Structure 1
């Protein structure tokens, strides 16, 4: 079974995330977990605690949820589950990954732009997990990814053949080009990236990552995913 975790506030692009999960599952049985995180109510009274935990959905959120359910209900091999999570920590998040046997986390652009601390914390916790992360692009949504550009992190010392072997075992993407990572001088590498993307009809970027210390910054640093608008599959280095 191939299970997917989608942290969400039920914005419109959650529908794209669910469609992507359904496509990635192929014909394999899967469960799609929509995780809605919220701060733990600060109350000594049990009755007040329970009252504050009851958070209703807006009309637009309800419509998104119903659309997601409709998509999954009409996909024979998939099921959907809503997981409400109050409070987060590294052990709690790891427990969620392990309990639901998550094989891929899908992050939407809207979720990464959320301003509440609990959602920013969730994004950083995702990055420290060993399972792959699919960052959806900001451009027009595309369900099927075929040709990938591998952005090599020089410090990782990983061969492209090892990355391709992992992709072949777990996904249906093929690496058709590669380049070195240089986020400090993106303007210099941008022409080469755009040329490769156009020449090879690339629709996905692949990168590796390491666990990082969690920090909250007022100004978020743009990554290649934000600048190019393409989806990015991020692989934990030790997993590969």
Structure 2
């Protein structure tokens, strides 16, 4: 069974995230968990605590959720679950992944643009988990994603063959080109040329755990710069 975790605030691109999960599941059974997170209410009164926890959905959020449920209802092998989480920590997040047997975390563009601190915290926590992460791109959902560009981290002891073997075992992507990772996001010409030449539709990178930091200015990454989805693999898994 392939289970997917999608942190969400129920923006429109949540629908694309669910479509990605359905496509990744193929014909195998899966459960798609939509996780909505909020700060724990700061209250000494239990009744006030419960009142503050009752947060309704806006009309647009209800429409997105209804669309997601409709898609799942018309997909025989998939189920959907809504998980409301109040407060988060590394052990709690790890427990959620283990409890739902999550095989892939899917992060949408809108979720990464959220301004609340708790959403930024969850994204950083996700990066320190061993579970693969799929960062969605700017394009609309497509079902025929299969050509990948491997972005090699200079300080990683990873061989492209090991990464490809992991993709063979867990996904349906083929690495057709590779390039060295660069911190200079102003010069994307080499990557753009490779993407155009080989008709790349997915980027693949490996990552290590990092110390969580909160910065005033958000740093743009390759995923956002090129607009393509990127599959991030924890190095110990590969």
Corresponding residue for residue 185 of structure 2: 186
Pairing of 1:160-179 with structure 2 (within 5 A): 160-179=160-179
Corresponding residue for residue 107 of structure 1: 107
Instruction: Give RMSD over aligned pairs.
Output: 0.8
Corresponding residue for residue 38 of structure 1: 38
Contact 2:148 2:204 in 1 (8 A): yes
Corresponding residue for residue 205 of structure 1: 203
Shift of 1:5: 0.0
**1:186-228 deviations in whole A, cap 9, x for unaligned?**
334x221111111111000000001111111111101100100
Q: Give the whole-Å Cα distance in 1 for the aligned partners of 2:185 and 2:108.
A: 23
Q: Give the whole-Å Cα distance in 1 for the aligned partners of 2:143 and 2:49.
A: 41
Deviates more, 1:43-52 or 1:56-65: 43-52
Shift of 1:140: 3.0
**1:2-53 deviations in whole A, cap 9, x for unaligned?**
0000000000000000000000000010000000000001111111111100
Corresponding residue for residue 90 of structure 2: 90
Shift of 1:145: 1.4
Q: Calculate the TM-score normalised by the size of structure 1.
A: 0.98
Contact 1:23 1:144 in 2 (8 A): no
Q: Which runs of 5+ in 2 are unaligned?
A: none
Q: Give the whole-Å Cα distance in 1 for the aligned partners of 2:75 and 2:140.
A: 23
Q: Give the whole-Å Cα distance in 2 for the aligned partners of 1:12 and 1:143.
A: 18
Corresponding residue for residue 55 of structure 1: 55
Contact 2:19 2:141 in 1 (8 A): no
**1:90-149 deviations in whole A, cap 9, x for unaligned?**
000000000000000000000001011111111111111001000000123323310000
SS of the residue corresponding to residue 211 of structure 1 reads coil
Asked whether 1:19 is paired with 2:19, we answer: yes
Contact 2:5 2:32 in 1 (8 A): yes
Asked whether 1:220 is paired with 2:218, we answer: yes
Contact 1:148 1:203 in 2 (8 A): yes
